[in-house]
């Protein structure tokens, strides 16, 4: 470490794995005696060696720590956390395939936990030892569903069919919806849009799903629902006064500056696009997967891929580090 009195703490590059089994459980390890923060619970992983990328380093570390050989892993979210002794740049990766049974080869305790639980409940179930501070953000991000269905009612005549498709999508596992209806008619029928939101909330909440209201609609509606989704043009206005403290906040973004704005506002997620060409916005220049992946690397929050997304692109989106996929046409595919 530098002897300069005001030298910044060194930056340590770390790969950390979210090892997720077929039941959706997440593996945590308790740091063994003799290491800093001994007894604290963390995600398995370790430092990158010179010339390694995160996935290569993680595969090596999990073999050494747990005795498993990774067969399927994808990048996810990079997070910077400052400890007193160092600043750590954690490259979190999702691990969904491996050979062998995880074992504590460094005399560390292991525990499979349900990441869908409230973090306080999860912590209580671990018994002795606290969750390492840098482990808390990914646990919160895992609470965000990986498929976001956007709008799609269109007109009052389309409500019944829309709700039927939502119910089928819920049975398929979708748990996050954005209420966005720019084409709803004005005039005498305008008041029926609020009733349409309430109908959607009734169907979604019966299955434990969340609905966020687009910022084109009244803020009071977002408080009735589960939160607010900011249009990219509204990001500069900040978190609206009057938005409930417990409300989720999402955002639409198109570049690095807007991603940074969303992160500064405490957004749970951001929707980045269009990644691929889409008929709903034919004039928009697609980012492409390479640009999406580059922006994801420094985003610091879950990013949904938007634009030309569907079941056929879901695996590619994960390979590029997307948290999941978002779109208007997803409802027709998932609940058609």
**Mean per-residue pLDDT, 154-177:** 96
For residue 80, tell me if it sits in a domain: yes
Determine contact, residues 259/270, Cβ cutoff 8 Å. Answer: yes
**Pair (178, 301) in one structural domain:** yes
Please give the tally of structural domains in the chain: 2
**Pair (16, 126) in one structural domain:** yes
- Which position has the higher pLDDT, 3 or 55? 55
**Mean per-residue pLDDT, 287-292:** 98
**Pair (116, 157) in one structural domain:** no
Mean pLDDT score of the chain: 94
**Could you count the other beta carbons within 10 Å of the beta carbon of residue 160?**
11
- Which position has the higher pLDDT, 188 or 79? 79
What pLDDT digit, counting tens, does each position of 224-234 carry?
Answer: 999 999 999 99
**Mean per-residue pLDDT, 203-212:** 98
- Which position has the higher pLDDT, 148 or 85? 148
Determine contact, residues 69/53, Cβ cutoff 8 Å. Answer: no
Q: For the whole model, what pTM was predicted?
A: 0.94
The region that residue 312 occupies, defined by phi over 0 for left and psi between -120 and 50 for alpha, beta otherwise, is: alpha
Residue 6 pLDDT: 55
- Asked if pLDDT for residue 170 goes beyond 70, the answer is yes
Q: Final residue of a domain: which of 141, 170, 196?
A: 141
- Asked if pLDDT for residue 108 goes beyond 60, the answer is yes
- Asked if pLDDT for residue 68 goes beyond 60, the answer is yes
**Mean per-residue pLDDT, 66-73:** 98
Domain that holds residue 254: 147-335
Q: Final residue of a domain: which of 110, 141, 172?
A: 141
Pairing, β 87-99 against β 248-253:
unpaired
**Pair (47, 83) in one structural domain:** yes
Determine contact, residues 229/214, Cβ cutoff 8 Å. Answer: yes
**Pair (163, 276) in one structural domain:** yes
Q: How confident is the model at residue 281 (pLDDT cuts 50, 70, 90)?
A: confident
- Asked if pLDDT for residue 189 goes beyond 50, the answer is yes
Outline where DSSP puts E strands in 182-286.
Answer: 210-214, 227-230, 248-253, 269-272
For residue 57, tell me if it sits in a domain: yes
User: Can you give the CATH number for the domain in which 88 is found?
Assistant: 3.90.79.10
DSSP annotation of 188: G
User: Can you give the CATH number for the domain in which 226 is found?
Assistant: 3.20.20.70
**Pair (173, 316) in one structural domain:** yes
**Pair (217, 111) in one structural domain:** no
Q: How confident is the model at residue 8 (pLDDT cuts 50, 70, 90)?
A: low
For residue 2, tell me if it sits in a domain: no
Closest to 24 measured CA to CA, from 175, 183, 161, 131: 175
- Which position has the higher pLDDT, 89 or 187? 89
Residue 210 pLDDT: 98
Q: How confident is the model at residue 1 (pLDDT cuts 50, 70, 90)?
A: very low
What pLDDT digit, counting tens, does each position of 111-143 carry?
Answer: 999 999 999 999 999 998 999 999 999 999 999
Residue 7 pLDDT: 56
**Pair (298, 154) in one structural domain:** yes
Q: How confident is the model at residue 3 (pLDDT cuts 50, 70, 90)?
A: very low
Helix (H) or strand (E) holding 259, with range, is helix 256-264
Residue 190 pLDDT: 80
**Pair (135, 172) in one structural domain:** no
Helix 159-171 and helix 192-205, axial crossing angle in degrees, nearest 10: 20
């Amino acid at each position: 470490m530098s002897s300069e009195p005001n030298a910044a703490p060194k930056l340590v590059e770390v790969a950390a794995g979210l090892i997720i089994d077929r039941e959706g459980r997440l593996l945590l390890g308790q740091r063994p005696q003799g290491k800093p923060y001994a007894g604290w619970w963390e995600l398995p992983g370790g430092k990158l060696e010179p010339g390694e990328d995160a996935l290569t380093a993680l595969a090596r570390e999990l073999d050494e720590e747990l005795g498993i050989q990774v067969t399927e892993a994808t990048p996810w979210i990079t997070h910077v956390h400052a400890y007193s002794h160092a600043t750590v740049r954690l490259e979190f990766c999702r691990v969904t395939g491996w050979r062998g049974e995880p074992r504590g080869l460094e005399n560390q305790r292991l525990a499979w936990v349900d990441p869908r639980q409230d973090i306080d409940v999860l912590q209580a179930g671990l018994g002795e030892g606290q969750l390492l501070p840098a482990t808390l953000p990914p646990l919160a991000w895992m609470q965000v569903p990986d498929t976001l269905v956007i709008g799609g009612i269109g007109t009052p005549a389309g409500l019944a069919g829309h709700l039927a498709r939502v119910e089928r999508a819920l049975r398929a596992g979708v748990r996050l919806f954005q209420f966005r209806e720019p084409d709803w008619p004005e005039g005498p029928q305008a008041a029926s849009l609020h009733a349409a939101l309430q109908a959607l909330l009734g169907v979604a909440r019966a299955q434990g799903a969340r609905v966020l209201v687009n910022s084109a609609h009244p803020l009071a509606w977002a408080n009735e629902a589960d939160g607010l989704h900011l249009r990219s043009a509204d990001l500069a206005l900040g978190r609206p006064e009057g938005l409930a403290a417990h409300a989720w906040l999402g955002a639409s973004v198109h570049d690095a500056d807007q991603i940074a704005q969303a992160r500064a506002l405490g957004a749970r997620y951001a929707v980045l696009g269009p990644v691929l060409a889409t008929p709903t916005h034919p004039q928009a220049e697609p980012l492409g997967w390479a640009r999406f992946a580059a922006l994801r690397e420094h985003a610091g929050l879950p990013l949904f891929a938007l634009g030309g997304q569907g079941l056929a692109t879901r695996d590619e989106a994960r390979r590029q580090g997307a948290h999941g996929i978002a779109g208007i046409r997803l409802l027709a595919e998932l609940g058609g």
